[in-house]
Amino acid sequence: MRVKSFTLIASILLGAANTLGATSTMAQTPVFVPPSRADLLKPAPNPAWNAFTVRGFDTTEIAPGLYTFRYTGTRNIFMVTPDGVIATDPISPEAAKVMRAEIRKVTDKPVKYVVYSHNHWDHIPGGQIFKGEGAAFISHEKCVAHFKDKPNPDIVMPDITFAKDYDLKLGGRTLKLFSLGPNHGDCLIFMQPDAENGRYLFGVDIATPGGAPLTFMVGYDPFNWLRTLKELETMNFGVLIPGHGPPVADKSSLTERRRYLEALMAAVKAAMDAGMPARELEEKVRVPEFAYLRGYDINVRDNVRRIQAYYAIGE
């Protein structure tokens, strides 16, 4: 009854608005207008990073021959060279199909390589379509054990693996791949395209620009996460292309994530040292200076529990 009344009121209001000539497209899905590149490249905290929806897909040319493709909430990159395409994380069978069509819009060349950022299922299933056109698959060597341990029929096994660094060369272009050891799992790699003298770093799940870490920070080792962020902060690049979030974000998004973790860990540790019981920690420990982060209200409680477990058991 209430719902019906609400609908009725809404349609009367909508009708009134239309009668008044407010807009004839009022009931249509609004067109997503992404923030400008200049706005996205402003340092943290940056509200423009929150604008990206998790619906649909988009493809953005970041630099000549360097693209990022987003499908729902997950993002990858691909590089177009005269001899073919280097693709990364296929995301899912559905996403890979859309991505294949998006790549076709900018080149007729085949996908020669698919590089996996890490082993997680929200990034890498769906590679069969590229395997079918002859692509070779590349991952960190430690991902193989995960693929064997938890088989997923949608994940294509890698053909090439490496332990530390790998310079992937194709058509006169280079995509530098490197590991910084364990952080988010034990086989996450970073990718630095040669575009604009290495200005960009594709870094999946190491930071979600503008957002708080999701739930229990699944797969992260807090100590090694901090260590990796500090190492990345000293490296010579300026722009992060994240695995979730905007197409580009200033490198300060890594600093923002490190400071959040440091503040969270210090707050949890202090409360534990003061004898606060585990169940009270999740209710009481907060880092209000980071309340502006997208999803903070939903995730901070689980973030606290994850850090409590880390300090309690060392894992």
Residues that bind Zn ion (CB under 5 A): 120, 205
Q: How far is the CB of 223 from Zn ion (least distance, A)?
A: 18
Least distance from C-beta 308 to Zn ion, angstroms?
A: 22
Q: Which amino acid is at 297?
A: D
Closer residue to Zn ion, CB minimum distance, 81 or 119: 119
Work out how close the CB of 93 gets to Zn ion at its nearest, in angstroms, rounded to a whole number. Answer: 18
**Shortest spacing between CB 117 and Zn ion, in angstroms:** 8
Nearer to Zn ion, 146 or 199 (CB): 146
In the complex, least distance from residue 286 CB atom to Zn ion, rounded to whole angstroms: 25
Which lies closer to Zn ion via its Cβ, residue 65 or residue 243? Answer: 243
Q: Which residue's CB is nearer to Zn ion, number 205 or number 256?
A: 205
**Quick one: 157 or 218, whose CB is closer to Zn ion?**
218
Would you say 117 and 92 are in contact if contact means Cβ atoms under 8 Å apart? no
Q: Are 186 and 149 in contact (CB under 8 A)?
A: no
* Smallest distance from Zn ion to CB 219, Å: 6
Amino acid in the structure at residue 287: V
In angstroms, what is the minimal distance from the CB of 280 to Zn ion?
A: 30
Q: Which two tokens stand for residue 79?
A: 């590089």
Nearest alpha carbon to residue 130 among 69, 52, 208: 69
Q: Rounded CA gap, 183 and 227, in Å?
A: 8
**How crowded is the C-beta side of 17, counted as CA atoms within 13 Å?**
12
If the CB atoms of residues 194 and 205 are measured against Zn ion, the closer one turns out to be: 205
- Long-range CB pairs of 19-28 (<8 Å, 24+ gap) are none
Q: DSSP secondary-structure letter at 185?
A: B
User: Cα 18 to the chain's mean position, in Å?
Assistant: 40
Can you point out the beta strands (E) in the chain? 57-63, 66-71, 74-81, 84-88, 111-115, 136-140, 160-162, 165-170, 173-179, 189-193, 200-203, 239-242, 249-250
Round to whole Å and give the CA distance between 57 and 43.
Answer: 25
Which two tokens mark 186? 């034990």
Residue of this chain nearest to Zn ion (CB atom)? 120
Residue with Cβ nearer Zn ion (129 or 214): 214
